[in-house]
Amino acid sequence: MDEKTKDFLKQRLGEQGYNKLARINNPGLHQFIAKYVEHCNPAKVFICTDDPADIRYVREAAIRNGEESPLATEGHTIHFDNYHDQARDKEHTLILMPKGVDLGATIKTGDRDTCLVEIHEIMKDIMKGKELYVRFFCLGPTNSEFSQPVIQLTDSAYVAHSEDILYRLGFDEFVRQGPNARFFKIVHSAGELDERKTSKNLDKRRVYIDLQDSIVYSANTQYGGNTIGLKKLSMRLAIDRGSKEGWLTEHMLVMGVHGPKGRVTYITGAFPSLCGKTSTAMLDNETIVGDDIAYLRKKDGEVRAVNVEKGMFGIIMGINSEDDPIQWKALHTPHEIIFSNVLVTPEKGVHWIGKDGDVPPKGHNHSGEWYKGKKDDAGNEIPPSHPNARFTLSLENLENLDAALHDPKGVVVGAMVYGGRDSDTWVPVEESLDWKHGIIIKGASLESETTAATLGKAGVRKFNLMSNLDFLSIPVGSYIQNNLDFAKGLKKTPLIFSVNYFLKDKDGEFLNAKTDKKVWYKWMELRIHDDVDAIETPTGRIPRYEDLKRVFKEVLDKEYSMDDYKKQFMVRIPENLAKIDRIKKIYETQVHDTPQVVFDALEAQRQRLITAQKKHGDYITPDKLV
Ligand code: SPV
Ligand code: MN
C-alpha cells in the first residue's frame, strides 16, 4: 500500500481497523476503500472480519441504529423500508455503458460518464455522521472454482446484517486470494433517514452498475433487491463476467430431487417472481440447495451448479402452516430472522397476508401505525403487510437443507426447468426436444402473467426470458447464444423442461392442485435417468398416463384419472401459435442481436403445430399422439 493511502486509512479506520485490513494483501482493495471513505465521508468506519465478535457488532448496530427492532421471539427482528421503497426500482437501475455500446431495448442503460458524475454527486458526503461497515463475502462456496469475492461498503447495518445471513463470510477468502482476487465492489448508502429510519430521499434513489470497474453504486434506498450488494447487484456483474469466461449466472433455484433407491438428482429452475419458485425449492421430501441464484460451470463434461447464496430472502405473503410446513416451523423458531415490512402486533409478534389465524386489528407496518381499514393517500386499503414483505433466514435453519450446499465442486445438474404463470398455453410439465429447443422454446420464450400482488393490471403476459430479463448486463441475443453454446463439449447434457403450475380450463378453474408439482419433479427425475418413456408432441415430450398414474399414487396417494390427464396435457394449438407470434415479434422488434437459430427454432415449432393441427384439429389430447 502506498504511504498516502496508508496514512489516510490509519487515520480514518483507527489502528485496530487498519490492522485488520492490512491482513489482506491487495493494494487495489485498499485504494478502493480509501477512495469511498473519503468520498462518502462517514463519521466512523468498521472493518468486519469473519470473527464472530465483529459479526455480532454489526448485528447489534442494526438495533442501535434503529434500522431493526427486536421482536418477542429470540433472534427475530423487524426492519421497515420506506412505504415507497418496497421493491426493486427498475426505472433507476441502469447498466452504465460507454458511448456507442448498445445493450438493446429491453435493458436499461445509462451513459457511463454522465451517470458516474451524477452518482458521485449524489454520494458526496452521503454517510456524514454515520458509520460505514466494510464487509467481505464470497459468492458461491469458498475455496472453490466458483468463489467470487465481493466487498460491500454500506452505511446500513440492516444491509450488512442481512448479508451475514444470506452469504458466506469472505474475509479469509480475500486473505487467501490476496492480490489475485478479482472482486466485485459495492458502495451503498441508505442516504438520509426519516424518523422511522427509512430512506428519505427517494427522488435520488439510484442503482448504477459499472461493468468496466466491477462496481455497483446504490443510494437512497434500503429495499434488499436494491441494496443487498451480493444479490441482484452482483448478479449483473456476474452475468457480464461469466459471459466472457464461459460460465453462466442464472436466476435459478437448485434442488435435490430424491428418486428410487436413495438416488438424488439435482435440478435447477428459473421462475419469475410469484410463480412458485421458492415453493418448488421447498417441495417436501426433496432437499434445497438454493432458492434464487445459481452459477453454472462445465467440469469434466458435466454441468455443475452452486447456490451463490446460503440464505433466503423469501416472500412471506401466503406462507401458512399447511402448505409450507418447513418454512412455517423455521419462522416460528428462535434463531436469527429479519422480517421486513410485515405487521408487528402490540405484543411484538408478526402477521402477514395469508398467515394462519385472524388478522390482528392493529399494530404497525410499512405504513406506520396500522389498523384494519386504514387507507393510503389514493384511498386504497392498506393490507396488514406489503405483498413483497420478506423474511431473511439462513438455509441452515431449514430441515430440508441439502448437504451439498457448501460443496466447492457444486452439484451435477441433471435438468434445468423454466416455468411461468400461464393460464392457457403450456402443459404442466414437458421435456424439450433437445438443448437448443429447450433454451429457445422454453427458456427464451418464458412469459408470465402479472398477479394482483404486482403493480398494474393483473393477468397481463410479461416476457421474461429465463426469468433473467431484469438482471441482464449483456445483450439478450448474446445471452441466448451463451446459453446455447454452454452445451458444447458436454458428455452429458442436462435435460430442459418447462412447467406450468397455473394452467386453467375454459371456465377459469385451475387444472392442477398445488401439490401436483411434486409429481412433475419425480417424473423429471425418472426421465433424466431414462427410467420412463415419453410421448412426443409438437411442443416437446410429455409424460405417459400410466407413469403419472403410478407416481401420483406413490407420491400423493391420489387416483389420477385419464380425464384429468387429457385436460392437463392436451396440446393447445391456437394458444401455442399465438405465443410463437408474440415471442417472434419481441425478438424482431426489441432485441437487436437475436441469433438466427431463435427464429429457425420458432418457425420449426410453428410448422410442427400446423402439421398436427391439420391432422387432429385445434386441441389434441395425448391419446391421439401415442
Ligand atoms: C426477486 O424479485 O427475484 C427476488 C427479490 O429474488 S429481489 O431481491 O428484489 O430481487
Ligand atoms: Mn430472485
Q: Are 587 and 594 in contact (CB under 8 A)?
A: yes
Mutate which of 231, 280, 451 for ligand 1? The one with the most ligand atoms within 8 Å of its CB, which is 231
Compute, in angstroms, the gap from residue 390 CA to the centroid of ligand 1.
Answer: 10
**DSSP helix, strand, coil percent of the chain (3-state; round to 5):** 35, 25, 40
Compute, in angstroms, the gap from residue 177 CA to the centroid of ligand 2.
Answer: 29
Query: Who contacts 40 (Cβ-Cβ below 8 Å, separation ≥6)?
Result: 123, 124, 125, 126, 127, 132, 153, 155, 187, 189
Compute, in angstroms, the gap from residue 388 CA to the centroid of ligand 1.
Answer: 9
Q: Is the CB of 311 under 6 A from ligand 1?
A: no
Mutate which of 313, 446, 472 for ligand 1? The one with the most ligand atoms within 8 Å of its CB, which is 313
Atom 9 of ligand 1: nearest residue by CA position? 225
Residue 146 CB-density burial (10 A; 0-12 exposed, 13-18 middle, 19+ buried): buried
Query: What pLDDT shows up at residue 2?
Result: 86
What ligand has the least distance to the C-alpha of 85? 1
Q: Is the CB of 292 under 6 A from ligand 1?
A: yes
Q: Percentage of the chain with pLDDT > 70?
A: 99
Ligand 1 atom closest to 292 (CA): 6
CA dihedral 16→17→18→22, nearest 10 degrees, is: 100
Compute, in angstroms, the gap from residue 225 CA to the centroid of ligand 1.
Answer: 5
Secondary structure of residue 590 in the 3-state scheme: coil
pTM of the model: 0.97
Ligand 1 atom closest to 390 (CA): 5
pLDDT (tens digit per residue) in 510-527: 999 999 999 999 999 999
Alpha-carbon span 492 to 487, nearest angstrom: 9
Residue 455 has pLDDT above 80, yes or no: no
What ligand has the least distance to the C-alpha of 293? 2
pLDDT (tens digit per residue) in 129-147: 999 999 999 999 999 999 9
Atom 1 of ligand 1: nearest residue by CA position? 273
Q: Are 82 and 202 in contact (CB under 8 A)?
A: yes
Residue 237 has pLDDT above 90, yes or no: yes
Atom 2 of ligand 1: nearest residue by CA position? 273
How far is residue 90 CA from its own chain's centroid? 15
- All 3 cell numbers of residue 13? 479506520
Residue 456 has pLDDT above 80, yes or no: no
Mean pLDDT of 424-448: 98
Query: Who contacts 506 (Cβ-Cβ below 8 Å, separation ≥6)?
Result: none
Q: Is the CB of 231 under 6 A from ligand 1?
A: yes
Q: Is the CB of 88 under 6 A from ligand 1?
A: yes
**β-strand pairing of 148-154 with 184-189:** parallel
Mutate which of 222, 232, 239, 250 for ligand 1? The one with the most ligand atoms within 8 Å of its CB, which is 232
Q: Is the CB of 197 under 6 A from ligand 1?
A: no
Q: What is the 3-state secondary structure (H, E, C) of 378-405?
A: CCCECCCCCCCCEEEEEHHHCCCECHHH
Give, for 335, the enclosing helix (H) or strand (E): none
Catalytic residue IDs: 275
Query: What pLDDT shows up at residue 548?
Result: 98
pLDDT (tens digit per residue) in 578-605: 999 999 999 999 999 999 999 999 999 9
Query: What pLDDT shows up at residue 457?
Result: 79
What ligand has the least distance to the C-alpha of 166? 1
Q: Is the CB of 273 under 6 A from ligand 1?
A: yes
Give the chain's mean pLDDT: 97
Q: Is the CB of 232 under 6 A from ligand 1?
A: yes
Query: What pLDDT shows up at residue 1?
Result: 78
- All 3 cell numbers of residue 370? 396500522
**Nearest CA among 242, 239, 270, 210 for reference residue 439:** 270
Atom 3 of ligand 1: nearest residue by CA position? 273
Mean pLDDT of 276-281: 94
Residue 355 has pLDDT above 80, yes or no: yes
pLDDT (tens digit per residue) in 283-314: 999 999 999 999 999 999 999 999 999 999 99
Mutate which of 292, 309, 470, 472 for ligand 1? The one with the most ligand atoms within 8 Å of its CB, which is 292
Q: Is the CB of 225 under 6 A from ligand 1?
A: yes
Atom 7 of ligand 1: nearest residue by CA position? 225
Compute, in angstroms, the gap from residue 53 CA to the centroid of ligand 1.
Answer: 30
Q: Is the CB of 313 under 6 A from ligand 1?
A: yes
pLDDT (tens digit per residue) in 500-514: 999 999 999 999 999
Residue 273 has pLDDT above 90, yes or no: no
Compute, in angstroms, the gap from residue 291 CA to the centroid of ligand 2.
Answer: 8
Query: What pLDDT shows up at residue 453?
Result: 64
Q: Is the CB of 568 under 6 A from ligand 1?
A: no
Mean pLDDT of 611-615: 98
Q: Is the CB of 390 under 6 A from ligand 1?
A: no
What is residue 232's DSSP assignment? I
Residue 81 has pLDDT above 90, yes or no: yes
Query: Who contacts 35 (Cβ-Cβ below 8 Å, separation ≥6)?
Result: none
